């Protein structure tokens, strides 16, 4: 999926709106300055994002309010908290059961008043979800100051990557960010963001030269890692029939040098080339590290009689498949994985990607060309269905997250629309189950239920030439009577 790009002026306007919100909202900290870094300073007219760091400071009152909020809203059992985590759970849990977001629950008078009694500011609490409070990923929920500031400043605006750091620590050089080349974008004394970003020619050239130098410095260890990794791969694959050739992969990289006497446009071009080189090295290192692990894993497991007796693929084929499966997608996308494996003369085309809506992406290995054609046809059919199912389910789940839309196809065209409802109800009271069943009946469903779940289905015939927009209207019509 292609990342969205934004116009430079749009991103600047979003930062200006965030600064205005910082001056109007009741925040647990005061924004003292905003610094920019990255592509926004390299004269790019369209960018994926505006990289920025918002510097904050807390006065004694803000520190006291935030500490009270953090202490009473977290799941940590601190001795000096005023409300136990169990009491907080009992207050909010009914809304979690009813799928009411915390942002809506906190505006209910009884809830907001109860929270305020313990120093839990409802607008700050609304920056989090009930899921992350009740089921925190690391087992303990502790409110994050940066998240509260980000939510209240940006309010859903996209395109700005904002980090939040302590003003004094940043000025002293004790920053958390790895970036080094910053430009002041806003401060109370110099509030014009656009003007601040438009540096004078001398300052612009000095900035770009510094940026290029930093990129070159970052590239050196990556090149060394790449050389070592390639040497290791050649070593472990020696005598296995896995003939890895890195010439094509290496030929795509370029050595970038520059002269400080060059004009700014030339230096900016080289900046972008260096930035792309950095990204490519990071992606390729992730892919080749996974390939190395996969080869080593195969060699470890081949001595296992059960593994070897059930083996129907070569090491080359399995190592290729495992590289798809094991490379973290936040480090490299599928397109890049295919490109790298192809450059190494590995059979990436034997791996067919099947994306079925609502299930994880499947990577299926098929060396047989005829069977692979069938898989490719299946993948195309699933992708065609996804074009319908994504928008239809988006609409259905606006009414209730337990609604699902499904389309039956005949020769690639829709023939019927099925709207289903599936909800686990084993921990809900009889009255709650009756209320859910009543809501479904009102909207024309015939629900069935037992002590564990509630299920309902509704099937609607549709015209074979129905467009996605027409099917969206059908979903809205069928769920129009569902009480919100």
pLDDT digits (tens, 9 = 90+) for 285-320: 999 999 999 999 999 998 888 887 778 899 999 999
Residues in the chain: 484
Q: Is residue 451 part of a domain?
A: yes
Q: What is the pLDDT of residues 238-263, one digit of tens each?
A: 888 788 999 999 999 999 999 999 99
Are 345 and 444 in a shared domain? no
Are 107 and 10 in a shared domain? no
Q: What is the pLDDT of residues 32-65, one digit of tens each?
A: 999 999 999 998 899 999 999 999 999 999 999 9
Are 192 and 53 in a shared domain? yes
Predicted confidence band at 424 (pLDDT cuts at 50, 70, 90)? confident
Are 306 and 393 in a shared domain? no
Q: Which residues contact 106 (CB under 8 A, 6 or more apart)?
A: 112, 115, 122, 123, 125, 126
Are 253 and 219 in a shared domain? yes
Q: What is the pLDDT of residues 366-393, one digit of tens each?
A: 999 999 999 999 999 999 899 999 999 9
Q: Which residues contact 182 (CB under 8 A, 6 or more apart)?
A: 35, 36, 37, 53
Q: How many other C-beta atoms lie within 10 A of the C-beta of residue 85?
A: 17
What is the arithmetic mean of pLDDT over 67-87?
Answer: 88
Q: What percent of the chain has pLDDT over 90?
A: 76
Domain that holds residue 172: 6-61+154-198
Q: State how many domains the chain has.
A: 4
Q: Is residue 360 part of a domain?
A: no
Q: What is the pLDDT of residues 173-211, one digit of tens each?
A: 888 777 788 999 999 999 999 999 999 999 999 999 999
Provide the whole-model pTM. 0.84
- Rounded Cα–Cα distance for residues 473 and 195 (Å): 47
Are 449 and 329 in a shared domain? no
What is the arithmetic mean of pLDDT over 416-436?
Answer: 88
Mean pLDDT of the chain: 92
Q: Quick one: pLDDT at residue 2?
A: 63
Are 45 and 175 in a shared domain? yes
Predicted confidence band at 429 (pLDDT cuts at 50, 70, 90)? confident
Are 328 and 220 in a shared domain? yes
What is the arithmetic mean of pLDDT over 140-164?
Answer: 95
Q: Is residue 15 part of a domain?
A: yes
Q: Quick one: pLDDT at residue 309?
A: 79
Q: Quick one: pLDDT at residue 293?
A: 96
Predicted confidence band at 224 (pLDDT cuts at 50, 70, 90)? very high
Q: Is residue 365 part of a domain?
A: no
**Long-range pairs, 395-404, Cβ under 8 A, ≥24:** 395/472, 395/475, 395/476, 396/475, 396/479, 399/479, 399/482, 399/484, 400/99, 400/482, 401/99, 402/99, 403/479, 404/358
Last residue of a domain, one of 163, 178, 198: 198
Q: Quick one: pLDDT at residue 173?
A: 84
Q: Is residue 251 part of a domain?
A: yes
Q: Is residue 148 part of a domain?
A: no
Are 274 and 300 in a shared domain? yes
Predicted confidence band at 171 (pLDDT cuts at 50, 70, 90)? confident
Are 474 and 426 in a shared domain? yes
- Residue 43: CA count within 13 A, CB half-sphere: 17
Asked if the model's pLDDT at residue 446 lies above 60, the reply is yes
Q: Is residue 366 part of a domain?
A: no
What is the arithmetic mean of pLDDT over 426-452?
Answer: 88
- Residue 12's CATH number: 3.30.460.10
Q: Quick one: pLDDT at residue 1?
A: 53
Are 242 and 346 in a shared domain? yes
Are 238 and 314 in a shared domain? yes
Q: Is residue 361 part of a domain?
A: no
């Amino acid at each position: 999926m292609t990342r969205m790009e934004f116009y430079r002026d749009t991103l600047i306007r979003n930062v200006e709106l965030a600064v205005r919100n910082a001056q109007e909202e009741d925040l647990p900290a005061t924004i003292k300055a905003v610094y920019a870094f990255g592509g926004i300073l390299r004269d790019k007219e369209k960018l994926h994002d505006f990289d920025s760091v918002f510097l904050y400071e807390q006065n004694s009152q803000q520190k006291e309010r935030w500490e009270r909020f953090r202490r009473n809203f977290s799941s940590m059992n601190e001795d000096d908290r005023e409300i136990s985590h169990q009491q907080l759970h009992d207050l909010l849990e009914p809304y979690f059961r009813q799928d009411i977001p915390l942002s809506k629950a906190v505006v209910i008078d009884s809830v907001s008043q109860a929270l305020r009694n313990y120093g839990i500011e409802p607008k700050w609490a609304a920056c989090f979800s009930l899921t992350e409070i009740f089921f925190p990923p690391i087992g303990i929920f502790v409110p994050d100051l940066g998240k509260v500031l980000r939510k209240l400043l940006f309010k859903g605006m996209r395109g700005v990557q904002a980090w939040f750091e302590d003003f004094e620590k940043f000025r002293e050089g004790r920053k958390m960010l790895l970036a080094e080349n910053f430009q002041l974008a806003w401060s109370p004394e110099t509030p014009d963001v656009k003007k601040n970003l438009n540096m004078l020619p001398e300052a612009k050239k000095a900035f770009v030269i510094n940026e290029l130098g930093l990129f070159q410095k970052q590239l050196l260890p990556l090149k060394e890692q790449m050389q070592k990794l390639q040497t290791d791969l050649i070593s472990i694959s020696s005598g296995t029939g896995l003939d890895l050739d890195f010439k094509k992969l290496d030929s795509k990289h370029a050595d970038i040098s520059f002269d400080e006497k060059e004009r700014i446009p030339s230096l900016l071009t080289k900046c972008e080339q260096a930035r792309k080189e950095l990204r490519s090295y990071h992606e390729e290192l992730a892919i080749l590290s996974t390939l190395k692990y996969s080869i080593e894993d195969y060699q470890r497991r081949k001595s296992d009689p059960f593994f070897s007796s059930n083996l129907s693929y070569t090491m080359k084929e399995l190592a290729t498949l495992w590289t798809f499966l094991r490379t973290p997608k936040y480090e490299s996308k599928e397109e890049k994985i295919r490109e790298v494996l192809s450059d190494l003369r590995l059979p990436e085309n034997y791996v067919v990607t099947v994306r079925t809506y609502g299930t994880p992406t499947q990577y299926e290995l098929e060396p047989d060309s005829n069977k692979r054609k069938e898989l490719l046809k299946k993948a195309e059919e699933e992708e065609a269905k996804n074009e319908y199912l994504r928008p239809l389910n988006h609409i259905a789940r606006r009414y209730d997250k337990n609604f699902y839309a499904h389309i039956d196809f005949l020769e690639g065209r829709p023939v019927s629309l099925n709207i289903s409802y599936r909800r686990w109800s084993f921990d809900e009271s009889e009255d709650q189950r009756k209320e859910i069943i009543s809501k479904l009946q009102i909207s024309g469903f015939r629900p069935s239920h037992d002590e564990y779940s509630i299920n309902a289905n509704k099937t609607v015939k549709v015209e074979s030439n129905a467009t996605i927009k027409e099917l969206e209207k059908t979903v809205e019509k069928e769920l129009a009577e569902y009480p919100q």
